[in-house]
Amino acid sequence: MRAATHKSLAMVDQLPSGAGPFEQAYSTNYDLVLCNSYSKSYPGLSINDAVEEDLISMRIDYGGLGKMLGTSRVIPVVAAFSGANFGSIEQMKKAGYIFGQAGNGEYGAFVWDGVGDAGITGRIRDTQGFRDLVKGLASKVYVKPFVTEAYLFGGGNPNGTHWSLDGLLQKVMPKDQNSADGLITNNAWPTRIITASANSDHTTTQEGVKVSGIAFKGSSSALATTIRYRKGFGAWVQMIALNGGASINGSVLMGATEDGYFEEDVTNTPITSAAPFKFGMKSAVASPIKGKMSTILFSFPSSTTTVYRNLMRGLFVYADW
């Protein structure tokens, strides 16, 4: 389309539900990106817990789209209609009001009237909650801009997308060169591993390998960064195991530090396969560590690897909302 017009091009989407952020799925020629990440139904959860789950997904969608399309101008789009797979009106209103602020005054509302459509269970013409949501966002005053900071990194195969490691490498916690004390960072680093004639941390004799991400080895490893936690955090990641690496059976932990030498564990996500997975932090977990710096830790108790053969690739999103 870019070759056919000089007019602004817009697109609306959220991250692909199956493929996730791991492979490039979009053109980078759009001028305007709208992110329509909506509330979902979570049977058995309270309204507040469902809103927390919504916000984790919304942060992932919003931050991920911006990185995949190479733009800082992503406009949040809230749902002003409901259907069978959506959350309750109250849940949609609460989550939408927070998500709608991500654009610092720029937002959209998808009004699907759906007259005669049995799949549409609520619409703006007959639902006060939707009208309140749209009016509330329109009247919101922004004293300080909300920041959404995203890191999309790594790749899983020679012919696939390899997102740059540069963003993470710039945020690796430096070591105090005047001290012999050990930094938290240990046995983990943003890097790539490729096929070569010898085995080392960065090469393997395994055929057809070109992978990248946060590589790690041994039973316990960690990467300390200077990325500060904000109000919310969400991640969508995948583990990689090369020949000679540990089987994927352990935990990914997010920790917090103020100096790179002392760390507190914050979340612990067990993993048992190479299937991509999402995780994040609810407000009660994120609030006490806001402003502290982020550490990624890997616990694979049975691992005896002495060179990098396991990696993580994917997306981290830190948001003020």
Q: Does residue 310 sit in the same domain as residue 199?
A: yes
Domain final residue pick, 119, 138, 157 = 138
Q: Does residue 134 sit in the same domain as residue 158?
A: no
Domain final residue pick, 84, 109, 138 = 138
Tokens 């070591």 -> residue: 175
SS3 per residue for the chain: CHHHCCCCCEEEECCCCCCCCCCCCCCCCCCEEEECCCCCCCCCCCHHHHHHHHHHHHHHHHHHHHHHHCCCCEEEEEECEEECCCCCHHHHHHHHHHHHHHHCCCCEEECCCCCCCCCEEEECCCCHHHHHHHHHHHCCCCCCCCCEEEEEEEECCCCCCCECCHHHHHCECCCCCCCCCCCCCECEEEEEEEECCCCCCCEECCCCCEEEEEEECCCEEEEEEEEECCCEEEEEEEEEECCCCCCCCEEEEEEEECCCCCEEEEEEEEECCCCCEEEEECHHHHHHHCCCEEEEEEECCCCCCCCCCEEEEEEEEEECC
CA distances from 38 to 87, 89, 143, 223, 312 (A): 9, 12, 26, 33, 27
Angle at 44 between CA 57 and CA 125, to 5 degrees: 65
Q: Does residue 184 sit in the same domain as residue 258?
A: yes
Domain final residue pick, 138, 159, 190 = 138
Q: Does residue 14 sit in the same domain as residue 65?
A: yes
Q: Does residue 252 sit in the same domain as residue 273?
A: yes
- Measured between its terminal Cα atoms, the distance across the chain in Å is 34
Q: What is the tens place of the pLDDT at every residue in 178-202?
A: 999 989 999 999 999 999 999 999 9
Q: How far apart are CA 195 and CA 175, in angstroms?
A: 30
Q: Does residue 254 sit in the same domain as residue 106?
A: no
Q: How far apart are CA 127 and CA 111, in angstroms?
A: 11
Residue 105 within a domain: yes
Q: Does residue 153 sit in the same domain as residue 302?
A: yes
**pLDDT for res 7:** 86
Q: Does residue 170 sit in the same domain as residue 51?
A: no
**pLDDT for res 119:** 87
**pLDDT for res 66:** 97
Residue 272 within a domain: yes
The CATH number covering residue 170 comes to: 2.60.120
Residues of the chain where predicted confidence (pLDDT) is lower than 70: 1-2
Q: What dihedral angle (degrees, nearest 10) is formed by the CA atoms of 43, 48, 53, 54?
A: 100
Tokens 């937002």 -> residue: 107
Backbone angles phi, psi at 268, to 5 degrees: -140, 115
Q: What is the tens place of the pLDDT at every residue in 220-258?
A: 999 999 999 999 999 999 999 999 888 899 999 999 999
**pLDDT for res 143:** 94
Residue 12 within a domain: yes
Q: Does residue 278 sit in the same domain as residue 173?
A: yes
Residue 144 within a domain: no
**pLDDT for res 55:** 99
Q: Does residue 184 sit in the same domain as residue 218?
A: yes
| Of residues 181, 174, 312, 161, the one with CA closest to residue 235 | 312
**pLDDT for res 1:** 66
Backbone angles phi, psi at 143, to 5 degrees: -75, -40
Domain limits for position 19: 2-138
Number of domains observed in the structure of the chain: 2
Q: Does residue 124 sit in the same domain as residue 178?
A: no
**pLDDT for res 173:** 97
Beta bridge partners of 195: 204
Residue 143 within a domain: no
Residue 226 within a domain: yes
Q: Does residue 118 sit in the same domain as residue 222?
A: no
